[in-house]
Structure 1
């Protein structure tokens, strides 16, 4: 396009010269000469204007030429300000995002199992690297700063009492009592010989037959009692056990002695954890289990992550109230980020543009818009030529 515009300028100059030479013989060439003169002036003027944007014409340091290279710093600042004022204003950002239900769109995307699986695969693949980047000191610091202070103040006795109370409410402990009674019965039956031997050692002056008879009757009586307690939910022994359990719950929650014992036990556990180098053992076990799981074709971690993401997506997609809360949170985050980092992106744009080589920037811009600028030269040539013809016509009319 540059060559086409330049050739058109050359044609105007040649036409002007031809008309100037032969106008005396052919007066009508005055019209064509007017077209060529004005076209030549328009072409030269537009060529100068286009060249002056990017460089000095013919290398001459004419004032107000090479406009882009000379004003690179101002252009950079203007570009940064333009982005800041027209793209990063907090109200503008939140206004554009307000009409978009981002939470619903994300939830529907996650509800698709293939999408959730893709996210789960990416998370799972990053786990080994994340775990390998964690060293023993990091785990130890985490336990020392986060876990251990809470364990030191943890009331183990009160918590144990609370758990037992939950366990005892609604007679949830009764199946365990039944299993304990059945285990006691089996132990008595299986160890009657041991009971006889111990009874004989304690009773040296009675016949062995009598000892066996007494032990057999004793075992039979205990077994019968166990059957009674098992078959009767309201048996007095069962009620006594329930009463003792409730009393233990109260003691664990209120007794200072139990509280001190719980603190001592917790302190011993903490000391044992530290002395046993369990931070390293825990980290190695987690790394090994995660690596082994991810190497399998059907990874439990991937399946769990995929199921959780799908369930999360379906749950949010069907809950407009949650979507509203998430969108409000997202808009608040976007507003906060726009306020906090609004000035950094324009500053980055300004610094980057300022750091570019001025001549290289000029060449790149010219390469992008140069084709249209050459059309400006061509149009200037033709429009100038027509303007010349019109001016010649006006002069001809006035003179006549």
Structure 2
């Protein structure tokens, strides 16, 4: 993709174009002068040559008049301080005030702003731009690159306090007993409690196996001194084997222990949903936990873990994360395009934002523009305006020369052939 033209190269190009068109206008004026002078050396002038001489004479007058008018805008013609010349440098403060007032009254007028925003349909245009995959991917790259710096710039202490405060408020408003009852009901409905119970029992069994020798050692220490070590070891192994058999029996859905567990879960759900005294006990326990300092520290650590996770994921993002963010941006752009209600809401928010930010400050914005122009020196503002409109003004000179020649030819014909 071709890189954008720099400001310096753009200025250089405009200066070159201005010089070229000045040469065009001057060349045409010199052509008229040469023609007029050349006609004086023709001894016998017929009707055609007389017409050409009159046309060139008028062309010189028209070209010089427009050269004077154009030059007078920016500087004194030929350096002579003629009154009412060098209009722009001599009136730059008034020009700045006029520009600022014009923008304040016409561009930042509330009715004008609303009308322009309604016609622009910014939400629709932004949606169309975001829906393109390459644009969505570009935005996702910017988001991923900026996120670590933004997260690191946040005040961790303030965030921790905010997280803790919000979490405590939500916990205080949460009725824990019915909430737990609903969760357990869902688990029981889908028989998820069986998986939880089976995993818990499996952890217990694995712990017994992993700490087999430690259990035997504990039994030997607790035994009487007069009991032989070999007997203690056999007793410990028997106890361990019995425990393993009991745990294995718990995983059998037909076992009595398993049935009691199911019944215990059902009884707990019933108490959580119906028993006022049990609910009160849980709420009291909840309040004690919330007021405990260790709970505040634990809640504050939520932000630390979340911050570290966000930074690690965005500093070296995976392709999946990139594509997920880009797809989300593109999907949002498509929704902005095809959802009239969403599009209208976004446009309304943008309109309200502009009216709240730009319009109340329109007088200050106009004054700022006037101050900027006032701060420019006369040469700077003259050069900037001339580079902007100078090429068109050279067309004025060219047209003045040509129109003058045409008018001169017409006047010659009228005076020669129509007037007595």
TM-score (norm 2): 0.66
**Maintained 8 Å contact 1:80/1:347:** yes
Aligned match of 1:249: 272
- Aligned counterpart, 2:348: 332
Q: Is the 8 A contact 1:69 1:359 kept in 2?
A: yes
Deviation sequence 1:137-157 (CA, Å, 0-9, x none): x11122224532541672398
Q: Which residue of 2 aligns with 1:387?
A: 407
Structure 1 CA distance for aligned equivalents of residues 397 and 256 of structure 2: 106
The residue aligned with 1:261 is 285
In structure 2, distance between residues paired with 1:239 and 1:293: 42
Offset of residue 5 of structure 1: 4.5
- In structure 2, the residue matched to 1:41 is 61
1:92 aligns with 2:115: yes
How far is the alpha carbon of 1:51 from its aligned partner? 1.8
| Aligned counterpart in structure 2 of residue 120 of structure 1, from 125, 136, 140 | 140
Shift of the 150–293 alpha-carbon distance from structure 1 to 2, 3 Å rule, reads closer
Q: How many residues align?
A: 376
Q: Is the contact made by 1:229 and 1:237 (CA closer than 8 Å) also made in structure 2?
A: no
Structure 1 residues 356, 232: CA separation in 2 closer, same or farther (over 3 Å shift)? same
**Helix, strand or coil at the partner of 2:85:** coil
Query: 1:65 pairs with 79, 85, 99, which one?
Result: 85
- 1:359 maps to 379
Cα gap change, 1:252/1:128 in structure 2, threshold over 3 Å: closer, same or farther? farther
How many Å separate the matches in 1 of 2:398 and 2:208?
Answer: 114
Describe the SS at the equivalent of 1:331: helix
TM-superposed deviation, 1:263 = 1.6
Rg comparison, structure with higher value: 1
Gaps of 5+ in 2: 1-22
* Superposed CA offset, 1:192-232 (max 9, x none): 9799879976xx9xxx99x97xx88x959x94994597316
Matched, 1:167 2:189: no
**306, 315, 320: which one aligns with 1:303:** 320
| Structure 1 residues 255 and 291: alpha-carbon distance in aligned structure 2, compared to 1, 3 A threshold | closer
59 and 92 in structure 1: CA distance in 2 versus 1, 3 angstrom threshold: same
Q: Structure 1 length normalisation: TM-score?
A: 0.69
What is the rounded CA distance, in whole Å, between the counterparts of 1:273 and 1:4 in structure 2?
Answer: 85
**5+ residue gaps in structure 1?**
none
1:313 aligns with 2:336: no
Kindly state the Cα deviation for residue 11 of structure 1 after the two structures are TM-superposed: 3.0
